[in-house]
Amino acid sequence: MSSARQVVQAILAGRGFREKGPAAVYAPANIALVKYWGKRDEALNLPVTGSLSISLGPLGSHVELARGAGGADAVWLNGQPLPADGSFAKRARAYLDLFRPAPDFFFDVKARNTVPTAAGFASSASGFAALAKAVDGLFGWGLAPRELSILARLGSGSAARSLEDGFVEWRAGTAADGMDSFAERLDATWPELRVGAVVLCADEKPVGSREGMKRSVETCEFYREWPGRVAKDLAALKAAIARKDFAALGGIAEANALAMHALMAATRPPIVYALPETVAALRKIWAAREAGLALWFTMDAGPNVKLLFEAQDEARVREVFPGVEVVAPFG
């Protein structure tokens, strides 16, 4: 079985670690319309199924990476130094270990998220995608998009999808070393499409996605149905995107999200991210749709809701959700 370090060595074969100077990069968060939930290899973050996402444009992670002057890695998040034993700092250091050219080489990481951290808005995805881009920039490798996607995946699975704008499909792959598991942008645009972020709770979620997936794969009796459901939804969603059928896109995304949350609820012990405010928001969406508004939703592993609608309906959506932050993924 390949290790993450072996994957990195294979990708960087023939490239050196000559420092090119500080790197400042950005990567967008992404919201999966057909979800990723479950791994076939935890060490390499290889998924059981494929998935398909939409990028959130200006909502994501900015990372500045430089060689550190001290005797240890320094990790900052949103302007604050993080304790060495903090969750994000530990994950960032473990990831950077894969690229550390010598034991006495330390990194200075300054990250800034424009989405809530660890609250189901894919801050981990954008953070590790940005970190992969920053390491590439720091050492001047000029890696190809496929290689960057594989490296980002080693930090966080869904980070594979946060290196591109627009619709992005992450291919599950079948190879044991994961070299065929990467994400690519679909050749499709949808200028009228809008995504609305409804932040109901910005607190760190009680069960991380990594632990939640592991628990579902091991204990949910319905998990065996999930791969077939995803394959069907992926094909249907790509067809809907090709013909710009918004009702189909919204219906597929909403149903897939609810199916994933049903898996979580059937996990032992159960995982329920929804808060009373979440349920209230879903009921508002269903009532608005019943009244004729073309509005759907999706949810990742967290209590917050992402609205799906088209530009022509933005004013009506804002009447239903006055505080929504609207993103135009295609400008």
Q: Which residue has the tokens 């076939």?
A: 40
Helices (H), the chain: 4-11, 87-97, 123-139, 145-155, 209-219, 226-242, 246-265, 276-290, 314-320
Cα separation, 272 vs 270, in Å, equals 6
pLDDT grade for 88, boundaries at 50, 70 and 90:
confident
Tell me: pLDDT of 243 over 60: yes
What does the pLDDT read at residue 176?
Answer: 96
Q: Is the pLDDT of residue 120 over 50?
A: no
At residue 119, the pLDDT reads: 41
Mean pLDDT of 303-311: 96
- pTM of the predicted protein model: 0.94
pLDDT of 34 over the 90 cut:
yes
pLDDT higher than 60, residue 90: yes
- Angstrom distance (rounded) from CA 262 to CA 260: 5
Helix (H) or strand (E) holding 49: none
DSSP, res 82 = P
Instruction: Give the pLDDT of residue 206.
Output: 86
118 pLDDT above the threshold of 60: no
Q: Average the pLDDT over 102-129 and give the result.
A: 81
Give residues with Cβ within 8 angstroms of 228, minimum separation 6. Answer: none
SS3 194: strand
Percent pLDDT > 90 in the chain is: 86
The span from the first CA to the last CA of the chain, in angstroms, equals: 43
Radius of gyration of the chain from Cα atoms?
Answer: 19
Burial (0-12, 13-18, 19+ Cβ within 10 Å), 325 = middle
pLDDT confidence bin for 1, thresholds 50/70/90: low
Q: Which of 62-71, 105-114, 118-127, 224-233 has the lowest mean pLDDT?
A: 118-127
Structure confidence at residue 115 (pLDDT) = 73
Backbone angles phi, psi at 167, to 5 degrees: -80, 130
Computed over every residue of the chain, the mean pLDDT equals 94
In our burial notation (b when 16+ CB lie closer than 10 A, e otherwise), range 169-208 reads: bbebbeeebbbebbbbeeeeebeebbbbbbbbbeeebebe
More confident call, 272 vs 205: 272
Give the tens place of pLDDT for each residue, 151-170.
999 999 999 999 999 999 99
Distance of CA 49 to the CA centre of its chain: 15
Residues in the chain: 331
Provide the pLDDT confidence category of residue 116 given band limits of 50, 70 and 90.
low
